[in-house]
Amino acid sequence: LKRDEARHIAYGVYLISRLVAQNNAIWPVVEERMNELLPLALGTIQEQTSHTADENGTLPFGLQLVDYVAYATTQFQKRIARIERARAQTIEELYQLDEVE
């Protein structure tokens, strides 16, 4: 399941990167929408973890909510940086980069 989900996310990042590489004018819209969605994603994490935390806020395996939020934020930053890099790339460069990654 995890691998399948990762493929879906990777394809979404690739597709948006391709669109940005083809038309840099859409970048502000992409950036704005990604930033609108981040709080919703973080809220989902908080909501889901609230059901499994103990009275001290500790989650299974000794994790804290901040661990999950930090991971999600890092993933968001990597993905938006990848999409932003497409602004300076041609479609051909984007295809070559994907073959290397």
pTM for the complete prediction?
Answer: 0.82
Looking at the structure of the chain, the number of domains it has is: 1
Write out the residue range of the structural domain in which residue 81 sits. 2-100
Run of H or E residues at 48: helix 27-50
Read off the tokens for 74.
């890092």
Tell me which amino acid residue 32 is. Answer: E
- pLDDT per residue of the chain (101 residues) written in tens, 0 to 9: 567 888 999 999 999 999 999 999 999 999 999 999 999 999 999 898 888 888 777 888 888 888 889 999 999 999 999 999 999 998 888 888 655 55
How far apart, in Å, do the first and last CA atoms of the chain sit?
21
The answer to whether 26 touches 20, Cβ cutoff 8 Å, is yes
